């Protein structure tokens, strides 16, 4: 029986949720104590330092291998090696359709709606839309790009935590890029996003920028 692999690049703050989701589909190969071991080793591993863990009976296809590699900033690469049946369960358990951590699912849906609505606003209704279109390579079609991104973000088989990392990064980029937007322009942007079922730009600033400011409270 051949072994196969699954991998993802996620935020360090999401590693525990990923490991506990792995434990839930591992049929006892990977348990809570193993989760704590991986987290403890990861906390003491420097950027680029690879760590691997083997679980299950020796010389058996019931074995599971888990690797973690801290990357730049807050990213962590996670690798899982196991039987085809096990990796199928991993892929399903980590997917948009099945990932079960409610707080992360809620954040994903909030950012997905915001990103897609904000992308449309940037290209069609923002004060800088005309300049953005004029300076963008003609090969980029904003409408087709939006359709492609929506397909990926709505695909039930897509890896939720990996997509969540990308949505967070792009949201922070957008908030920085529009930091100077104020007054009537900000109110217009908020109205545009709100009518499309997304969180407003003002609210996203409060959620993501203000909590990053020096002295701001952090989530526990």
Last residue of a domain, one of 93, 111, 142: 93
Residues 115 and 184 in one domain: yes
Check pLDDT > 60 for residue 213: no
Residue-wise pLDDT tens digits, 92-129: 999 999 999 999 999 999 999 999 999 999 999 999 99
Residues 199 and 158 in one domain: yes
Residues 86 and 170 in one domain: no
Which residue range forms the structural domain that includes residue 17? 3-93
Which residue in 174, 178, 175 sits closest to 127, CA to CA? 178
Under the banding of pLDDT at 50, 70 and 90, the label for residue 1 is low
Residues 109 and 88 in one domain: no
Structural domain contains residue 217: no
Last residue of a domain, one of 93, 119, 149: 93
Under the banding of pLDDT at 50, 70 and 90, the label for residue 214 is very low
Domain count, the chain: 2
Residue-wise pLDDT tens digits, 2-35: 789 999 999 999 999 999 999 999 888 889 999 9
Residues 67 and 116 in one domain: no
Instruction: State the SS3 of 5-33.
Output: EEEEEEEHHHHHHHHHHHHHHCCCCCCHH
Average predicted confidence (pLDDT) for the chain: 91
């Amino acid at each position: 029986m051949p072994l196969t692999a699954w991998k993802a690049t996620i935020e360090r703050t999401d590693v525990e949720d990923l490991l506990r989701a792995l434990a839930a589909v591992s049929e006892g190969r990977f348990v809570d104590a193993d989760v704590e071991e991986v987290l403890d080793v990861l906390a003491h591993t420097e950027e680029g330092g690879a760590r691997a863990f083997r679980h299950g009976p020796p010389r058996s296809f019931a074995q599971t291998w888990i690797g973690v590699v801290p990357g730049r900033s807050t990213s962590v690469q996670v690798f899982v090696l196991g039987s085809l049946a096990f990796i199928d369960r991993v892929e399903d358990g980590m997917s948009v359709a099945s990932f079960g951590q409610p707080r992360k699912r809620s954040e994903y849906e909030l950012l997905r709606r915001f990103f897609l609505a904000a992308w449309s606003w940037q290209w069609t209704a923002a004060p800088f839309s005309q300049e953005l279109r004029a300076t963008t390579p003609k090969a980029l079609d904003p409408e087709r790009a939006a359709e492609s991104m929506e397909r990926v973000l709505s695909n039930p088989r897509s890896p939720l935590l990996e997509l969540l990392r990308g949505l967070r990064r792009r949201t922070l980029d957008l908030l920085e890029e529009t930091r100077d937007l104020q007054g009537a322009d900000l109110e217009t942007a908020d109205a545009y996003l709100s009518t499309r079922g997304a969180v407003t730009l003002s609210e996203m600033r409060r959620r993501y920028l203000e909590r990053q400011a020096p002295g701001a409270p952090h989530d526990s």
